[in-house]
A and B are shown apart, each in its own frame.
Chain A
């Protein structure tokens, strides 16, 4: 089985030769190739080459055309500060509450770094074909609303002026669909929808149900129509209270963060493939033996049920130890077991 066959089998709860493994290696790929993060997130071809190097080095099952969480908002006017050794930060948000009506949906082939991300997607797909999963990335509606205004303004707007906030979410949804569809056209097998701001540690579950769920559903329906292989949602934090909503949204693969009990997630989403959930900082702090043991525990936990992809709870920090990532991949392949036989 190749990577994509392995992942597709896991999604549909079919047997695989071994558990698929999809470490969320983003900026770490730059460090591994001795490239600055700053260059990596601004140059699509370079990003793709680093991703390919990392995939070849570790031998996992997916590559990511993913820069950072500011690609969309920068394309709409947010001003970022770039630094060599870290992800950019926001100097000024794209909009103020009074200027929301002036926002326009960005052109993925023209605005900000969107064209570079599209370039990375095309490069990766050209190189790996259907052997390895090519994953693009869009923000979810709540996270994009937050990135356009800033967290505090977005949340106060939701409460003080719900109608305007609803219009902002609808606008964000249009941006997401346009950008994700362009990524699919460029060759990604799917764009992961990254929506950490819709986590229950940010908004209450009722708020998620009323404001976010219908828009996530709209996004996933559009992506399916545009050819997305799998509807993958990534929400960080303690998501247990909203897990049952994800099937209604059309989620087929859900990333569980390190703070979520895999057993609870399995119970809430019995028909949904799950990926996760090793604590991201463990890849900095722990030893390969510890990572391998944690990985094996997760594999054992899901062995009977299936529908599992071994991964980290969120992004593997760029400065992680390569031997720890290798240990996770090795555990998925069952290398240790083969040695013992």
Chain B
């Protein structure tokens, strides 16, 4: 398992997949590989990013390796989808076509065992809220890189409340949005980076249980 953790942290996708297959051959279950391998690697990356420097390159490489491993363990057409800690819907709102931040969120949340539904970039508000409802999300996340989406973002909370979805927590993040307060954006939390968002998610998931 240590080798899997190391290859994931090195961002070596091909080697990580080889390690996963070795573990499976040795009788390790999918769930154990995730909890003792993938999640441990993400915890170490989280600690490193907190202590040193949040660094997109390392996160992206590790995230790519993690997504490769998850795909290996749970192919899209697999009969038994992974157990999850709950559904999270993420998007970049209509008018915003920057999706890197959202993609990072997706990788980090997936690796921690959440089911992430990606509404993509340039996503109309109604479609985003429809997804939150259909997927019974407990948190929704919006990543934003431009100030022009802010008026739209400020409407999300009220629109969700009107639809009876007031119980779903709303996170915002991204280079521009993180300069604002949660109150000013009318959201529940403003994440300073993907792991900060993850900590909030874990906290809410813990409260939920």
A→B interface (CB under 8 Å): 81, 83, 85-87, 89-90, 151-152, 155-156, 158-159, 200-205, 207, 236, 238, 241, 258, 279-281, 284-285, 317-319
* Residue B81, interface by CB 8 Å: no
**Least Cβ distance of B105 to chain A in Å?**
14
A158 CB contacts on chain B under 8 angstroms? 57
A37 CB to closest chain B CB (Å) equals 10
**8 Å CB contact of A285 from B56, B103, B180:** B180
Contact in complex: A202, B57 (CB < 8 Å): yes
Whether B95 is near chain A, meaning CB under 8 Å from some CB there, is yes
Q: A151-B100, A156-B61, A159-B57 are in contact. List 17 more A-B contacts (CB 8 A).
A: A81-B97, A90-B97, A152-B100, A155-B56, A158-B57, A201-B56, A202-B56, A204-B55, A204-B58, A205-B53, A241-B53, A258-B179, A279-B179, A280-B179, A281-B147, A281-B180, A317-B147
Contact B53 A204 (CB under 8 A): yes
Contact A156 B176 (CB under 8 A): no
Q: Is B85 an interface residue (CB 8 A)?
A: no
Interface residues of B (CB under 8 A from A): 11, 53-58, 60-61, 64, 95, 97-98, 100, 103, 146-148, 175-176, 179-180, 184
Q: Which of B58, B64, B146, B180 contacts A87 (CB 8 A)?
A: B146
Establish whether residues A284 and B147, one from each chain, have CB atoms under 8 Å apart when the complex forms: yes
A-chain residues with CB within 8 Å of residue B180 when the two chains form the complex: 281, 285
For the complex, what is the distance from the CA of A284 to the CA of B150, rounded to whole Å? 12
In the complex, how many angstroms separate the beta carbon of A273 from the nearest chain B beta carbon? 25
B-side contacts of A203, CB under 8 Å: 55-57
Could you tell me the distance in whole angstroms from the C-beta of B142 to the nearest C-beta in chain A?
A: 16
- B179:A201 contact, CB within 8 angstroms: no
How far is the CB of A76 from the nearest CB of chain B, in Å? 19
CA distance A151 to B146 in the complex (A): 17
CB nearest neighbor in A for B63: A152
Query: Please, could you name 9 A-B residue pairs with CB atoms under 8 Å apart, sorted by A?
Result: A89-B98, A156-B64, A201-B54, A203-B55, A204-B55, A280-B179, A281-B176, A284-B147, A319-B147
A151-B100, A319-B147 as given contacts; A159 in contact with B55, CB under 8 Å: no
Q: Which 5 A-B pairs have the closest CB atoms?
A: A281-B179, A202-B56, A89-B97, A86-B148, A317-B147
Closest to A280 in B: B179
Chain A neighbourhood of B97, CB < 8 A: 81, 89-90
What's the Cα separation between A281 and B100 when bound, in Å? 21
Question: What is the bound-complex CA distance between A81 and B146, given in angstroms?
Answer: 15
Neighbour of A200 across the interface among B11, B55, B103, B176, CB < 8 A:
B55
**Residues of B with C-beta under 8 A to A202:** 55-57
Contacting residues, chain B, for A319 (C-beta < 8 A): 147
Of A85, A200, A205, A285, which one neighbours B184 at CB under 8 angstroms?
A: A285
CA distance A284 to B151 in the complex (A): 13
Question: Which chain B positions have C-beta within 8 A of A201?
Answer: 53-56
Cα distance, A152 to B146, chains bound together (Å): 19
Decide yes or no: A155 and B60 within 8 Å by CB, A200-B55, A204-B55, A281-B176 being known contacts: yes
Report the Cα distance A305→B11, complex, angstroms: 44
Contacts of A281 in B (CB 8 A): 147, 176, 179-180
Could you tell me if B53 and A200 are in contact, using CB atoms closer than 8 angstroms?
A: yes
Residues of B contacting A152 with CB < 8 Å?
A: 60, 100, 103
Cα A156 to Cα B61 with chains together (Å): 7
B60, A156: Cβ atoms closer than 8 Å = yes
Expressed in whole angstroms, the Cα–Cα distance for A27 and B56 within the complex equals 28
Q: Chain A residues near B55: list those with CB within 8 A.
A: 200-204
Q: B residues within 8 A CB of A89?
A: 97-98
Bound state CA distance, A258 and B178, in angstroms?
A: 12
